Structure 1
Amino acid sequence: MKKDASLKNILGLTQEEAAYLLGIERGQWSMYVSGKRNLPLAATEKLAALLKQVQQVKSPSKESQALAKAEQKKLQEQLQQDYLTVQIKQHKVAQQIRTIENKRAECFAALEVAAILEHDNAYPAKNNLANGIRARAVGTLRTHNLYALTELQLKKEQLEMLKNSLEQKMKESKNEL
């Protein structure tokens, strides 16, 4: 099986392609790869010549170079697109964090006003108003709780790490072009 991996890696051919190239049946190639049979002399000579040529090739062909360059360019474009997407998500999350922080600050301020209304005699119908303010503030704080805020902050940190990774990959990809 080790031969199969190395021959397949060296040649990059399927069993059918290798057998056709060497002029033998696929079963013969399979048996050779598994170590159960030897190849016919003509096939062995063709394989040896092919392996020798593959090992002598120092530079890749123009076709493989063009394909690799096109892949690098496509990778760069995709990384750029992903980077922009992450930036947009990061901006949206930052906006959500600011919104929650503002609402929480407003609710805590409203709770302070409700506490002042309860203890101050200058305002008529203060208890009903204080209870209404308190109920609204507590309800809003339940919706925009500290866990939701922390979750968004963690998401922002994850997006920042992803953004940094994408920046690094784009630099590496640019260097390979």
Structure 2
Amino acid sequence: MKNNTIRKLLGFTQEEISIVLSITRSQWSMYEIGQRDLPLAAKKELTAILLYLQKTKEISKVKKEFLALEQTKIEEWLLKELRNIEYKKQLLSKKIDAMENKRVECFAALDTIYFLEEQNLDANTSLLQHIKRKALDTLNNNSLYKLESIQM
């Protein structure tokens, strides 16, 4: 049965650990499967490495530097994403303002048309109908539903 727990703990391949311990890869392979013992010098070196790893359960300098670099990259990415979100938020705000302004204008146009129709003034009826249809279409395109969905 193959036991590569030590190798995994060290993060080395068979070839790499055999070079570090000054043995052949086949010696290491046979050690892993329990068919051979390591030479005394290799055992001492492996023991020293494992003791060092046990003592340094805290984060090593290399790992700290790597984690700090990763953290910096994450922070840079998050700042970029935040700027992107702020930009999109500004665009949506402008779009909402434009929609609200269009709605105000359309309601004003409909109120004006209503007033003119009530006064029975000699206004161009086809023009008023055209303006009314245009205002209603614009209101439908800028409905409260669409406005609310954008605000969400």
Q: Structure 1-normalised TM-score? A: 0.62
CA deviation after TM superposition for structure 1 residue 103, in Å: 0.6
Cα deviations by residue, 1:9-57 (Å, 9 ceiling, x for unpaired):
x44x2xxx332215545xx59xx6xxxx546322995766544432221
Q: Would the alpha carbon gap of residues 101 and 7 (structure 1) be closer, same or farther in structure 2, given more than 3 Å must change?
A: farther
Q: In structure 2, what is the equivalent of residue 62 of structure 1?
A: 61
In structure 2, relative to structure 1, the CA distance for the partners of 1:49 and 1:149 (3 Å cut) is same
1:48–1:40 CA distance, 2 compared to 1 (3 A): farther
Match for residue 40 of structure 1?
36
Q: Report how many residues are paired.
A: 139
**Greater Cα radius of gyration, structure 1 or 2:** 2
Counterpart of 1:79? 78
Q: Is the 8 A contact 1:110 1:134 kept in 2?
A: yes
Does the residue aligned with 1:125 lie in a helix, a strand or coil? coil
Closer, same or farther: CA 5–100 of 1 in aligned 2, 3 Å: farther
RMSD: 3.2
* Alignment TM-score, normalising by the size of structure 2: 0.70
Which residue identity does 1:40 align to in structure 2? Answer: R
Q: Percent identity?
A: 28
- Could you say which residue in structure 2 is the equivalent of 1:18? 13
Q: 1:6 to 1:19 in 2, by over 3 A?
A: closer
Q: Deviations over 1:86-138 (max 9, x none)?
A: 111111111111111111121122112222222212x2134223202111101
What does the per-residue CA deviation read over 1:63-104, in whole Å, with 9 as the maximum and x for residues that have no partner? 322222222222222222221111111111111111111111
User: Which runs of at least 4 in structure 1 moved beyond 6 Å after TM superposition?
Assistant: 3-7
Give the helix-richer structure, 1 or 2: 1
Residue 141 of structure 1: CA displacement?
1.6
Q: Which whole-Å CA distance do the structure 2 matches of 1:56 and 1:127 have between them? A: 92
> Which sections of structure 1, spanning at least 5 residues, go unmatched?
155-177
